Amino acid sequence: MTTIELNDLKTDIIVIFKQIVANKITAGDKGRALFLYKNENLETNHQITTYKSAILSLEDEKLEGYIKQLFKGGCKKVIACEYKTELADIKASIDEILPEFDWIMSTDADIQTDIKTYAIENNKFAMVYNIKADSIKICSISNPKATIKNDDGSTKDITGLELIPIVGGVACGCPYNMSISYKVFDELSTVQQPDEYNYGQLTLYPEEEGIRLANACNTLQTLNSNYTEDMKSLAIAEGMARVETDIVKAFRTGYKGKYKNSYDNQCLFYAAIKHGYFKELEALGILDPNYNNNVYTDIEAQRNAWLAAGKAEAEDWTDEEVCKYTYKNMLYVTMDVKFLDAIEGMKMTVEMF
């Protein structure tokens, strides 16, 4: 006898990103960081504390410093998860707070690979050190060392791992309509360059204005029909994640189970996205208002569903007929949208007479 689980009983809600998709249905937010910190002095196995301000006074000055760096970068909320032994021992506790954070990171060297794996498996973004993940969800810092300026004017050398809350706080806190490319990190006075430069690695470098971030990228390198060159941009990757979260939530809370599956009712859902959600994104400068951002029935997917069910005549249906002949309890949705990425380059031609 085959054992089934709860997820087997649920209807699939799949948002497929073929090229570029949008971000935010009722102004979905970001800026929430989960910071993992090993503390062998804990009396319990772990301790989770939520901070909403950088005004704090902790016994552990190192942890306090990391949290303040995250807030300085722009984070709106920091969840500090202190653990005593191994990350695997508290995985279930982290699972319980999954909806409460957008990014996950840590300065602990031993769990960088574990963080990468956890983030990919749970559809979260992560800032790690020197990891080649080939994922739109993972950002990796490559600089081995840096020097940080303290408030009293003194300086302190820090490792590449300790750059994570500095760069990670900026990545997590950056608004959707901006990019972290060429961000100047005022708190850094020097930064050591990696032995070699690699695509898919975040690299800080010195410039006249200060220490800058050269590239706002994730670790994605392998391209195919689902992952394209523009998805290497962190701004676009975050937008893709946002639209999936927001539209699925809107479907689950506003449409699923509340309407019969007629084409007219499907069009209500499409209209809410196109004329409400997309217009909001255009006004925020996230989607290009000069592009016809649209959402409609995925004709090919719905036709194939009927063919797979033995409806041979579906092969000859017109596109309009495919739309009207909705398939069981499923919506097959496709989107055609254009992101506005950040301005990062310039080509200038000077004509002289």
At residue 1, the pLDDT reads 55
Residues paired with residue 212 on neighbouring β-strands, in sequence order: 184, 205
Distance of CA 167 to the CA centre of its chain: 15
pLDDT of 220 > 50? The answer is yes
pLDDT of 159 > 50? The answer is yes
Structure confidence by residue, pLDDT tens digits, 271-298: 888 888 888 778 777 788 999 999 999 9
pLDDT of 18 > 70? The answer is no
Structure confidence by residue, pLDDT tens digits, 47-71: 999 999 999 999 999 999 999 999 9
In Å, how far are 83, 139, 148, 180 from 187, measured between CA atoms?
28, 21, 6, 16
Q: What is the pTM of this model?
A: 0.84
Q: Would you list the domain boundaries of the chain?
A: 29-213, 255-336
Q: Read off the tokens for 245.
A: 């979260």
Average pLDDT on 233-260 reads 83
At residue 75, the pLDDT reads 95
Average pLDDT on 107-117 reads 97
For residue 13, the tally of other CB atoms under 10 A from its CB is 15
Alpha helices, H only, 58-141: 61-73, 91-96, 112-121
pLDDT of 79 > 90? The answer is yes
pLDDT of 238 > 50? The answer is yes
Structure confidence by residue, pLDDT tens digits, 326-344: 999 999 999 998 877 766 6
At residue 106, the pLDDT reads 98
pLDDT of 26 > 60? The answer is no
At residue 12, the pLDDT reads 53
CATH topology of domain 29-213: Rossmann fold (3.40.50)
State which of 10-19, 25-34, 118-127 shows the largest mean pLDDT: 118-127
In this prediction, residue 29 has a pLDDT band, given cuts at 50, 70 and 90, of low
Average pLDDT on 137-142 reads 97
pLDDT of 316 > 50? The answer is yes
Tell me the C-alpha distance between 80 and 294, whole Å.
40
At residue 27, the pLDDT reads 40
